[in-house]
């Protein structure tokens, strides 16, 4: 497996030019996020990722996590690396200051999170799930619960999990059957949860489970789910982990990828019932879950970006080293590195352009989280929340993770036979990437969320706002000179028209033929992502063209930004047109063949 | 005991260094720069001394361009207390740096100067020795272990073929070798605190030093590219080749 180096120049560029971190640093609470601090944080996090986490990635894949007598042992080195991560204060980066967080913007956190995931996705899942649990508690926990749990979870000393899934309740969480019965001022939890990431492990001192369960007489479906905090070790009066709760990991799943991350079958309440504490009010568990799910979905989108970056770095280094064949049109009998072959270049450019577009969209969307939270103007907060954050979150989750898989797959292709051989490491990226379109709401569910909740419920307005923004950028692209900008002009015009048509189709079809609209949801999401990615790369290219005349600028880097945007415009944006056709025309034909005839 | 640590900003150890086309030096524009790894070890040692109650204050100093401030911030994030930048846009050679450091030492009056045994850019391995001579202080180079006891340091040195343990009287200049310690990763709270720690800036004139180069670089060139290997058919052929082609036996 090749080394990983955090792409710090690129991250800094996207944060400043596309996410607008400098603006965010003017918002109340985020003043500390000045460019020099951002640089220092990226540098130091990059070191930890490259030197400590990345070397554990392949050994972790080979060893996997192991269950012995109810105890899960993570691969060698994981516990020590986690200790360094916690001691370094990294876990606290984005959380509010009241319980020991550093209160830095999410947009900065997202870049750092990309590094952990690119270095070692299995490792990074532990903090990722903990982050969701912390947010739940911050938003909905009682003052006493916050006092008891938050500081330790924010530091990472204790880790949190999310317990939604049960054998009969996957995408349909409302089918969950885990029960909760009152027992004085606490509850007894009984039931089985499956696929619980880091449900049991040896990296943190205690595991705090966030469990969805049903109280007696709760209504059916999601409206009857309540949320409980169920610690593995119940804290004593001083808040130290003490008595063992009645819950255990009964088995670990054998998986295609992320093998170092324990995926646990959890059994709650085999004997006296696991002690749980109700969070917020009864029957509002699902609503609470959603406050954190948006954020977790962005984080999973980031995993897509991270794996794509790692796969690209690995493929690029292989393409420079591997000698094979002669250069097209040359008489030189010597073998050349495969990077000279145009088809390999096409693959590398596809990987690079998709990765940059996905990163741009993920960071841009995360920045709206900061704005929706901290902007003093309520109208700006509403706009950032509804038209940007909510609209684009399912797109980041689904489109960026699809890209993660595609790019990792191309990475294997560049390695030829060696890509299929595990030792090389390219295959691991592909296997690891493959979970990301599945968990945290499958990509199919994301597409439905996009069309129904994010677009139709707001009468299509957020989609039209996005279109306006794209066209505003187009006006600037139209004035810029050079081959890259004429490619972008054309590519974006076509894609924006396609998006407009497809949105019109959606508005018309959804109320009358919802089945058909649903059949077109995934291509519609793909179209949205492809267009939004191209739009943001165009904004990046405009910023690069502006900076390039500055004698102190990194000309090679800026030229590469422009060239990559051009490739995206020429070779990838046309897919938006095809995706629009698949949504508009393909939706009826998708359902034309009867179920029995399949 | 007050400790002064001298640190240098160099091309990052992971960067593939390229020679400028005119042979005047190596390409440094838009190249990733970092703290010299041996200097990182020196900073780590000083911070450990502070944590152990041996050092009272750790001051880091770097001589170089304005952007050496970033390198100083890295040392502050590792735990140093404050920084000094001796700002100079001119090329600084070991003797000039030693003279500048001497000026800083006279101002700051530390008991111990810690530095890297050499910087990975030019591999000079001279500055520490020159500084000790200019100050007329004791020196211990290539340290792999440092212990303090009543006014003296016991230093284990890495020498050819083994280790040597010496005692030096304070004040002293000690240069760090690779095995002295393993530098820490800066923690996030310390990175944030480092922003608020003071960095004084001064110039060569302030210290009364003429830093102009005394050596001139004639030419910088790439090392010869490695030749491909060849398989030999027998031991006899190998010996023949070593004798007559490689001329090593
Ligand atoms: C490695 C791993 C880690 C996980 N970690 C956790 C965790 O920590 N906590 C947790 O609670 N869960 C976790 N999960 C569970 C995960 O979130 C679910 O697997 C996922 O939500 C899909 O549910 P399912 O597996 O039951 O698939 P199903 O819901 O059965 O879906 C099967 C297929 O049908 C489609 N489908 C289902 N319903 C619809 C619909 N209404 N409309 C359109 N298409 C539909 C899906 O898109 C999918 O393609 C994890 C899973 C794995 C594999």
CA angle A206, A207, A213 (to 5 degrees): 145
Between CA B24 and CA A395 the distance in angstroms is 51
User: Least CA distance to B73: which residue of chain A?
Assistant: A40
Rg (CA), chain A: 24
Range B180-202 average pLDDT: 96
What pLDDT is recorded for position B54?
96
Superfamily of domain B2-217 in the CATH hierarchy: HUPs (3.40.50.620)
Single out the residue in A132, A155, A178 at which a domain terminates.
A155
Pocket perturbation via mutation, ligand 1, pick of A438, A441, A453, A521 by most ligand atoms within 8 A of CB = A438
For ligand 1, residues with CB inside 6 Å are: A 129, 162-165, 170-171, 195-197, 255, 263, 435, 438-442, 444-445, 448
Pocket perturbation via mutation, ligand 1, pick of A195, A221, A405, A433 by most ligand atoms within 8 A of CB = A195
Cβ pair A36:B73 closer than 8 A = yes
Residues A391 and A454 sit within 8 Å (Cβ to Cβ): yes
Q: Are residues A43 and A149 in the same domain?
A: yes
Residue-wise pLDDT tens digits, A486-539: 999 999 999 999 999 999 999 999 999 999 999 999 999 999 999 999 999 999
Range B60-82 average pLDDT: 96
Burial of residue A61 (CB within 10 Å: 0-12, 13-18, 19+) is buried
What pLDDT is recorded for position A1?
56
Domain of residue A206 covers 158-288
Tell the residue number behind the tokens 């450990």, with chain if given. B48
What pLDDT is recorded for position B29?
84
Q: Are residues A139 and A194 in the same domain?
A: no
Q: Are residues A168 and A138 in the same domain?
A: no
Domain total in chain A: 3
Q: Are residues A553 and A587 in the same domain?
A: yes
Single out the residue in A155, A180, A211 at which a domain terminates.
A155
Residue A394 lies in a domain: no
Q: Are residues A143 and A164 in the same domain?
A: no
Q: Are residues A481 and A555 in the same domain?
A: yes
Range B214-231 average pLDDT: 85
Residues A106 and A94 sit within 8 Å (Cβ to Cβ): yes
Tell the residue number behind the tokens 């060849």, with chain if given. B230
pLDDT higher than 90, residue A468: yes
Between CA A186 and CA B191 the distance in angstroms is 42
Q: Chain B contact for A48, CB < 8 A?
A: yes
A440 catalytic? Reply is yes
- Token pair for A91: 């876990």
Mean of all residue pLDDT scores within chain A: 96
Distance (Å) from CA B121 to ligand 1 centroid: 53
With CA atoms as reference, report the closest residue to A303 among A541, A48, A129. A129
Q: Looking at A329-333, A346-350, B114-118, which range is the least confident one?
A: A329-333
**In Å, what is the CA distance from B226 to each residue of A220, B192, B222, B237, B241?**
73, 45, 11, 22, 18
What pLDDT is recorded for position B245?
86
Residues of A in contact with B192 (CB under 8 A): 32, 37, 102
Q: Chain B contact for A36, CB < 8 A?
A: yes
What pLDDT is recorded for position A29?
93
Tell the residue number behind the tokens 């979970």, with chain if given. A435
Q: Which of B9, B191, B193 to mutate to test the interface with A (most CBs of A within 10 A)?
A: B191
What pLDDT is recorded for position B58?
98
Please list, in sequence order, all residues whose beta carbon lies within 8 angstroms of the beta carbon of residue B102, skipping any fewer than 6 positions away. B131, B134, B135
Range A434-456 average pLDDT: 97
Between CA A115 and CA A137 the distance in angstroms is 26
Residue A583 lies in a domain: yes
3-state secondary structure of B80: coil
The pTM is what? 0.94
Question: Of A356, A406, A440, A516, which is the active-site residue?
Answer: A440
Q: Chain A contact for B192, CB < 8 A?
A: yes
With CA atoms as reference, report the closest residue to A502 among A515, A521, A474. A521
């Amino acid at each position: 497996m090749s080394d990983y180096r955090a792409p710090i120049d690129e991250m800094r560029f996207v944060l400043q030019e596309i996410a607008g971190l400098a603006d965010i640093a003017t918002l109340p609470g985020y003043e500390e996020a000045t460019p020099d601090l951002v640089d220092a944080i990226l540098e130091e996090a990059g070191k930890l990722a490259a030197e400590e986490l990345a070397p554990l990635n392949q050994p972790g894949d080979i060893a996997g996590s192991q269950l012995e007598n109810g105890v899960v042992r993570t691969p060698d080195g994981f516990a020590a690396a986690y200790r360094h991560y916690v001691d370094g204060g990294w876990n606290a980066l984005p959380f509010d200051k009241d319980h020991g967080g550093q209160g830095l913007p999410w947009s900065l956190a997202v870049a750092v999170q990309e590094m952990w995931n690119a270095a070692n996705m299995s490792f990074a899942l532990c903090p990722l799930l903990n982050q969701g649990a912390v947010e739940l508690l911050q938003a909905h926990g009682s003052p006493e619960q916050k006092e008891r749990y938050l500081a330790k979870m924010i530091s990472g000393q204790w880790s949190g999990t999310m317990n939604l899934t049960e054998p009969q309740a996957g995408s349909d969480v409302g089918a969950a059957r885990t029960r909760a019965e009152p027992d004085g001022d606490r509850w007894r939890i009984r039931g089985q949860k499956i696929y619980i990431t880091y449900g049991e492990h040896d990296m943190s001192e205690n595991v705090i489970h966030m469990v969805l369960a049903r109280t007696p007489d709760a209504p059916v479906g999601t409206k009857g789910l309540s949320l409980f905090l169920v610690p593995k070790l119940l804290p004593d009066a001083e808040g130290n982990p003490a008595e063992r709760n009645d819950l255990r990991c009964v088995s670990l799943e054998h998986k295609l990828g992320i093998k170092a991350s324990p995926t646990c079958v959890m059994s709650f309440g085999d004997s006296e019932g696991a002690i749980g504490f109700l969070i917020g009010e009864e029957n509002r568990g699902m609503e609470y879950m959603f406050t954190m799910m948006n954020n977790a979905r962005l984080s999973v989108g980031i995993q897509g970006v991270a794996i794509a970056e790692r796969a690209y770095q690995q493929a690029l280094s292989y393409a420079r080293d591997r000698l094979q064949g002669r250069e097209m049109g040359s008489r030189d009998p010597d073998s050349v590195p495969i990077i000279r072959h145009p088809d390999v270049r096409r693959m590398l450019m596809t990987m690079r352009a998709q990765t940059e577009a996905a990163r741009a969209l993920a960071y841009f969307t995360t920045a709206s989280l900061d704005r929706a939270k901290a902007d003093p103007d309520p109208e700006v907060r509403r706009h950032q929340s509804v038209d940007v954050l909510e609209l684009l979150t399912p797109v980041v989750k689904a489109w960026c993770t699809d890209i993660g898989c595609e790019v990792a797959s191309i990475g294997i292709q560049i390695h030829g036979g060696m890509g299929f051989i595990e030792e090389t490491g390219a295959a691991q990226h592909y296997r690891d990437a493959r979970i990301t379109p599945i968990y945290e709401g499958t990509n199919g569910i994301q597409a439905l969320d996009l069309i129904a909740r994010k677009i139709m419920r707001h009468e299509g307005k957020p989609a039209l706002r996005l279109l306006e923004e794209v066209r505003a950028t187009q006006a600037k692209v139209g004035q810029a000179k050079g081959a890259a900008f004429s490619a972008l002009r054309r590519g974006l015009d076509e894609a924006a028209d396609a998006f407009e048509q497809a949105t019109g189709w959606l508005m018309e079809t959804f109320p009358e033929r919802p089945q058909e609209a649903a059949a077109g949801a995934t291509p519609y999401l793909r179209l949205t992502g492809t267009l939004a990615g191209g739009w943001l790369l165009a904004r990046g290219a405009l910023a690069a063209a502006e900076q390039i005349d500055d004698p102190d600028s990194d000309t090679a880097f800026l030229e590469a930004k422009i060239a990559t945007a051009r490739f995206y415009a020429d070779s990838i944006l046309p897919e938006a047109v095809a995706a629009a056709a698949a949504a508009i025309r393909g939706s009826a034909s998708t359902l034309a063949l009867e179920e029995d005839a399949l | 005991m007050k400790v002064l640590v001298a640190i240098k900003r160099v091309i990052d150890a992971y960067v593939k260094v390229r020679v400028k086309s005119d042979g005047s030096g190596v390409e440094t524009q838009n190249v990733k720069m970092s703290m010299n790894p041996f200097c990182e070890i020196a900073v780590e040692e000083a911070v450990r001394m502070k944590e152990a109650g041996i050092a009272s204050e750790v001051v880091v100093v770097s001589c170089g361009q304005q952007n050496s401030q970033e390198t100083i911030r890295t040392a502050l994030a590792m735990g140093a207390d404050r920084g000094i930048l001796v700002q100079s846009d001119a090329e600084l050679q070991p003797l000039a740096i030693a003279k500048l450091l001497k000026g800083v030492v006279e101002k700051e009056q530390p008991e111990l100067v810690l530095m890297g045994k050499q910087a990975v850019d030019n591999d000079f391995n001279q500055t520490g020795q020159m500084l000790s001579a200019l100050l007329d202080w004791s020196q211990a180079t290539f340290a792999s272990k440092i212990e303090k006891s009543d006014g003296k340091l016991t230093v284990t040195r890495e020498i050819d073929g083994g280790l040597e343990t010496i005692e030096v009287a304070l004040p002293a200049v000690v240069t760090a070798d690779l095995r002295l310690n393993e530098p820490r990763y800066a923690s996030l709270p310390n990175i944030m605190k480092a922003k608020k720690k003071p960095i004084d800036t001064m110039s060569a004139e302030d210290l009364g030093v003429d830093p102009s180069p005394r050596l001139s670089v004639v030419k910088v060139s790439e090392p010869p590219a490695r030749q491909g290997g060849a398989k030999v058919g027998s031991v006899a052929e190998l010996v023949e080749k070593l004798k007559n082609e490689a001329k090593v036996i």
